[in-house]
């Protein structure tokens, strides 16, 4: 039985690498073999050198129907500096013109320690068609457990604990952690590991770095120097 993952899981799993740099390109794969790279930051403590308070990045989402590309929606990532923490948020929504087919209103919020970029609280509020999910996870790193409050709505949510590794990330924190990798120090073809806690489970994944691509054209934005990746994705129904 396949595990269900939300539409925003798709919009984040793809921008998971795309958001490393505002113009990165994605090529998906099943399971990249692990090859240790020259250098990547520790998953347990990461110095931020790439983003700052007030950053906002919006991705437009399209649905491909044969030769027709339909403008379906957008997802916006934001950063707020809260002193000792960063607040990362992502809001995914479909456009009204697309909602006759499928309506999405997804809200992600993650609070991370400023020195490590590890999440302390992760909140997902998912509305996709008739599907609803409220999922709040508090990461207790001293006890190595994730305390989940999960249900169809916040009022119906129940508490459950899950064992985790100390240096695990969620779907938003891994994006900002990964942006701090020194890509120029990676050899094309090398892979680096990431660990994500999602939907009550820990997922150990690998990401393959394929190299740099200069002057990549981004519609409506111009040309950019980009980095090309092949991420291992979490299987889902979307």
- Candidates 19, 24, 23; CA nearest to 178 is 19
Helix (H, G, I), strand (E, B) or coil at 72: strand
What tokens does 186 get?
């990676």
**Any domain includes 176:** yes
- Candidates 167, 54, 83, 56; CA nearest to 119 is 167
* pLDDT of the residue at 156: 94
Q: What is the band of 40 on the pLDDT scale with cuts at 50, 70, 90?
A: low
Q: Which residue has the higher pLDDT, 27 or 99?
A: 99
* pLDDT of the residue at 28: 35
Q: What is the band of 10 on the pLDDT scale with cuts at 50, 70, 90?
A: very low
* pLDDT of the residue at 151: 95
**Any domain includes 82:** yes
* pLDDT of the residue at 235: 63
**Any domain includes 132:** yes
Residue 144 pLDDT greater than 90, yes or no: yes
- What separation in angstroms does the CA of 119 have from each of 124, 146, 164, 179, 192? 13, 11, 12, 16, 20
| Alpha-helical runs (H) found in 23-179 | 173-178
Residue 211 pLDDT greater than 50, yes or no: yes
* pLDDT of the residue at 61: 85
Dist. CA 111–CA 139, nearest whole Å: 10
Rounded to an integer, the average pLDDT of 214-219 is 80
Q: What is the mean pLDDT of the chain?
A: 80
* pLDDT of the residue at 19: 34
* pLDDT of the residue at 2: 37
Question: Terminus-to-terminus CA distance in the chain, angstroms?
Answer: 14
Residue 4 pLDDT greater than 60, yes or no: no
* pLDDT of the residue at 165: 87
**Any domain includes 1:** no
Range of the domain at 154: 7-231
Q: What is the band of 194 on the pLDDT scale with cuts at 50, 70, 90?
A: confident
Answer yes or no: pTM beyond 0.85.
no
**Any domain includes 21:** yes
Count of structural domains, the chain: 1
pLDDT one-digit tens code per residue, 146-182: 999 999 999 999 999 999 988 899 999 998 988 888 8
**Any domain includes 238:** no
């Amino acid at each position: 039985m396949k595990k269900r993952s939300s539409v925003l899981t798709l919009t984040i799993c793809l921008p998971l690498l795309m958001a490393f740099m505002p113009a990165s390109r994605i090529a998906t794969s099943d399971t990249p073999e692990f090859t240790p790279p020259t250098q990547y930051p520790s998953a347990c403590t990461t110095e931020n050198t790439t983003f700052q308070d007030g950053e906002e990045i919006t991705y437009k989402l399209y649905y491909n129907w044969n030769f027709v590309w339909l403008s379906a929606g957008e997802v916006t990532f934001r950063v707020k500096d809260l002193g000792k923490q960063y607040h990362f948020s992502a809001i995914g929504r479909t456009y009204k013109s697309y909602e006759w087919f499928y309506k999405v209103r997804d809200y992600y919020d993650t609070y991370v320690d400023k020195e490590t970029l590890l999440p302390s609280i992760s909140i997902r509020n998912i509305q996709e068609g008739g599907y609803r999910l409220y999922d709040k996870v508090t990461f207790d790193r001293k006890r190595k457990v994730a305390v989940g409050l999960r249900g169809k709505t916040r009022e119906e949510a129940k508490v459950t604990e899950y064992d985790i590794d100390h240096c695990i990330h969620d779907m938003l924190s891994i994006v900002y952690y990964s942006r701090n990798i020194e890509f120029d120090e990676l050899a094309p073809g090398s892979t680096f590991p990431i660990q994500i806690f999602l939907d009550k489970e820990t997922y150990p994944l690998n990401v393959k770095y394929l190299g740099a691509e200069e002057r990549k054209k981004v519609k409506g934005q111009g040309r950019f120097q980009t980095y090309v990746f092949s991420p291992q994705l979490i299987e889902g129904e979307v």
